[in-house]
Amino acid sequence: MKHVYFPGCTADSLNSPASKATLLVLSALDEEIIIPEGFTCCGGSHLEKLSKKQTKEINIKNLKIAKQYANQVFTSCNTCFMELSKVKDEVDMRVLSTLHLLDQINFSPLKTINKKIIPFYGCHILRPKLTNQYSEGILERLITHTGAEVVDYPYKDKCCGFHSILTNRSVTENIIKEAIDTKADLIVTPCILCHHALDMFQGKIQVLHISQLIGLSLGIPARKLGINKNVHFKRFKNTSKY
């Protein structure tokens, strides 16, 4: 099946390893991915604070570009997912996240991952409830499918602090502190923004994007999935673990 990918700005620059891993895993699962040219930045939930009309027009334009190729578009960024979902009814498109897409595809993992994993959803895939895309529980289902153990974590639907990361990092620091207390090995998130925020300002716990975890379970080497570019990996160089 054809899938249109909306990369978003962070996927091309600050957190390209996670975005590349998404494309790699989906092409390994025999899915055809199209990346059209001419997408504009979705506004990142900040443009709305200056002009509501402009945000709406930009995202309608984005969906119209995607509609030339398929009736659904997917993205690996939660904020892009939310911004596109807000206008999806006007263009009659389906907007998905990488999380929903991986849930729809049938695959059997080649490798079992014996780790304790924290599922971290982030905000914009859950709130505000704009779509019928039901996200709760999917992350846990995918983690148990790879053979890993899910750790209960009370902050899994809270904010990672990405949107205030330059000015106030206490939100992110608290999330990490609570995560270390659960004694889990990994945090897995479907959002590249959460992945960046949680990985960048620590080094004590490994953070993976959901496509990187699925990639590992499919037997793709960690280096190809861009896990060696994580801050945690650079500090401890524990290649043998993956």
Partner 1 sequence: MKNQLLLILPGNLEYRIHQGRTDVTILDLLMKLQKAEPHICVRYSCGHGICGSCAIKINGEKRLACKTKISQVEKPIRLEPIKSDSVNLASNQEGFFNEIKQVVPTKFGQALDAEERNCIFCGICKDGCQASKYNPEFLNPSAYYHAKRIAENLSPNDKKHYLKSLKSVWHCINMYNCIELCPKELNPSEAINALSREQNKIGNTSGHAKTFEENIKTLGRLYEPYLFFRSLFPNIKELLIMLTKYSMAGKVPPIIPKTNRIHKKKKDKNKDKTNKHVKGKVPPQAKNKNKK
* CA gap 179, 173 in Å, rounded: 10
Residue 100 CB, nearest approach to partner 1 (Å): 19
Least distance to partner 1 from the beta carbon of 92, Å? 21
**Cross-strand pairs, 213:** none
Token code pair at residue 65: 């570009």
Reported as type and span, the H/E element at residue 145 is helix 138-145
| Residue 95 C-beta-side C-alpha neighbours within 13 Å | 29
Q: Is residue 168 a contact point for partner 1 (CB under 8 A)? A: yes
Q: State which of residues 161, 179, 184, 189 lies at the interface with partner 1 (CB under 8 A).
A: 161
Smallest gap from residue 115 Cβ to partner 1 (A): 23
Tokens of 204: 């004590």
* Closest to 148 (Cα-Cα) out of 187, 198, 121, 197: 187
Element (H, E) at 95: strand 94-97
Selected binder of partner 1 within 23, 70, 91, 222 (CB under 8 A)? 23
Please give the residues from 62 up to 121 whose contact with partner 1 meets the rule CB under 8 A: 69
**Phi/psi of residue 174, nearest 5 degrees:** -70, -40
Give the helix/strand (H/E) hosting 208.
strand 206-209
31 versus 140: smaller Cβ distance to partner 1 = 31
Q: Which stretch binds partner 1 (CB under 8 A): 22-30, 110-118, 134-142, 207-215?
A: 22-30
Binding test (CB under 8 A) with partner 1, winner from 92, 108, 132, 166:
166
Would you count residue 39 as binding partner 1 (CB under 8 A)? yes
Q: Which of 6, 18, 24, 218 binds partner 1 (CB under 8 A)?
A: 24
**Residue 228: how many other CB atoms lie within 10 Å:** 15
Q: What one-character DSSP code corresponds to residue 188?
A: E
Is residue 44 involved in binding partner 1 (CB under 8 A)? yes
- CA dist 42 and 129 (Å) reads 18
Please report how close the Cβ of residue 157 comes to partner 1 at its closest, in angstroms.
9
Residues at the interface with partner 1 (CB under 8 A): 9-10, 12-16, 20, 23-24, 27-28, 30-41, 43-52, 54, 58, 69, 123-124, 127-129, 158-159, 161, 163-164, 166-168, 170-171, 174, 196, 200-201, 229, 231, 234
